[in-house]
Amino acid sequence: MAHQNRPYLNHAQNYAIMCVQRNHIAFEIAMTTTATAKEERLAIRITPETKEMLRRAAERQHASLSHFIVGAALERAASLLADETRFVVSQELADAFCAALDAPARDIPALTKLFAEKSVLEH
């Protein structure tokens, strides 16, 4: 799934994304960041050419170099970890899933009996 260009999120924002594409629907678990003091430092060694490219890209996004690098790294990390936060299904399966959620509950006698009994915690 292609990501749209979006401004880098500051660390105080909470966001959830539901992406709908032609013939596919993807759900991403809400990704939450918190407003905390920035206490950790990360030092990296790069070539002057790499630094210049990053600086130019950050400038194009109207962001500081640090903000740009952290934002890009977080976006890449989220993309790599997407298999833990997102699943993609066909439109047909998405429609069936939504229909199942919207359908009235079925009566399942075994479950009705189970829930009528006292819990092991209540004995």
Q: What is the mean pLDDT of residues 88-110?
A: 91
Radius of gyration of the chain, Cα coordinates, nearest whole angstrom: 23
Comparing 93 with 9, the larger pLDDT belongs to 93
Tokens of 48: 């002057």
State CA 10 to chain mean position distance: 15
Stretch 106-115: mean pLDDT: 92
pLDDT at 102 over 90: yes
Side chain identity, residue 56? R
Residues 45 and 55: their CA atoms lie apart, in Å, by 15
Given a cut of 80, whether residue 10 has pLDDT beyond it is no
pLDDT at 15 over 60: no
Every domain of the chain and the residues it spans: 14-116
Q: pLDDT (tens digit, 9 = 90+) per residue, 26-61? A: 433 334 444 567 888 889 999 999 999 999 999 999
Average pLDDT over the chain reads 76
57 vs 4: which has the higher pLDDT: 57
Q: What is the pTM of this model?
A: 0.46
Q: What pLDDT, on a 0 to 100 scale, did the predictor assign at position 36?
A: 66
pLDDT greater at residue 11 or residue 70: 70
